[in-house]
Structure 1
């Protein structure tokens, strides 16, 4: 029963050991990363960039640190180039593949645009974390596009979600950009301190940009409707739940006046 309902929303899993294995690895690794965030083992970027320092200063324990701008460009640019190159690799794709390529290219272009022209930085990024995140984005992008390529020519799932997915994606990317813009306005030139964000959905949750990022990838998975895209989206949701929980806990520890009614990710709920 559950399987038949699932098959109403997705293409049949492709005869590809690579894609099917990546589906399992992706959802498992992202979910584990979310649990690690809750436990205090953070990927070292943003406000958590200098947590869990090495206990020894010996060369084998020394961490390599990047500037935030260089680190974030390293996160997103390989995935952006992979998505952009898909237009050359698969020039005769159907509407669904075209929409997926457009969505992924636009998403990672926006990320690079924000890195260069929107974000204000206060710290750095540890190279180890940058490599993990960059590989995750890059491998997920090429896997999603390849899985969609393998679905070419198959009948669409009984419930076609590609156009609702495109709408959700646009809502998500606009909301994500708006709240990143609000974050950038918290700091004046040269200011590196943290403040409690206000405006938009920041009055209800501390990570509305994560909430809209989830909408972005729900939209992408609706456009794609492959097993891999849904696996990546489910894993991303688990990770951002953990990251937002850790972020709210951090604000509570740093600001005595942090409003207790402000949730982590979902207004009034979590």
Structure 2
């Protein structure tokens, strides 16, 4: 059989783990559904979409945006960091993946503390959902990598390609986060149409580079779970980006440049 052998050229065999299999199905299905809900106007309640697409609940528990965002990323950072102690039998691929995940979430924590400027609050329910998703996916990706240590290495080795894509992703994401942060004065709450970098071509280049980062981590890992989670993340960020473009059009009307795409320059 040719077709079944093709994925095995660049993927480790799925580990005999009901937990990893279940998390793979949950991850890709829940993230894909979340992306679809974003397109349909039912948004995760943070940033510009707070109280958008849902009935406003006066008794809804909220956190400051800084606190909420810090809670999103810090548990996953500690999961990545602690994996170096929890799994002593490590190979190079495991170290590269765990390092990439740790760096990714450390960067996000530092941005929350020192870069981003905030205009509101974040729903506690959304905070818990997103935090759980990041934390469990990080732990599962690391665990799946650990379980693959005794399998033969895929014939097509993508780990160094993955490192390159991850570096591109994390630099591009940070660069466009800096542009977003520079749009708002300290204490200001107004929104502006972002310009500069790839913002002149797409409305969410920071999401585009985040996708590059996750593709890079999937190539480092080469496990089925990593790719499944990345596909789910791709669909979610596509939906969120589409909703973001629609929000800017509704807010700025004809001032929003019509040739600015959603996520992929000149295409989508």
Relative to structure 1, the CA distance from residue 148 to residue 56 in structure 2 (aligned partners, 3 Å threshold; closer, same or farther) is closer
Q: Which deviations, in whole Å up to 9, do the C-alpha atoms of 1:131-172 show, x marking residues without a partner?
A: 000000000000000000000122111110000000000000
Give the aligned CA root-mean-square deviation in angstroms. Answer: 1.0
Q: Which runs of 5+ in 2 are unaligned?
A: none
Partner of 1:77: 74
Relative to structure 1, the CA distance from residue 56 to residue 118 in structure 2 (aligned partners, 3 Å threshold; closer, same or farther) is closer
Q: Which runs of 5+ in 1 are unaligned?
A: none
**Correspondences of 1:217-256 after superposition (within 5 Å):** 217-256=214-253
Tell me which of 109, 117, 121 is aligned to 2:118.
121
Q: 2-side partners of 1:2 and 1:29: how far apart?
A: 27
TM-score by length of 1: 0.96
Relative to structure 1, the CA distance from residue 262 to residue 167 in structure 2 (aligned partners, 3 Å threshold; closer, same or farther) is same
Tell me which of 164, 169, 186 is aligned to 2:166.
169
Q: 2-side partners of 1:56 and 1:33: how far apart?
A: 21
Partner of 2:195: 198
Q: 1-side partners of 2:64 and 2:233: how far apart?
A: 25
Q: Which deviations, in whole Å up to 9, do the C-alpha atoms of 1:66-86 show, x marking residues without a partner?
A: 100000011001111101100
Give the deviation of 1:191 after TM superposition. Answer: 1.2
After TM superposition, what 4+ stretches of structure 1 lie above 2 angstroms from structure 2?
52-57
TM-score by length of 2: 0.97
Partner of 1:262: 260
Partner of 1:112: 109
Q: 1-side partners of 2:246 and 2:20: how far apart?
A: 36
Give the deviation of 1:52 after TM superposition. Answer: 3.9
Partner of 2:38: 37
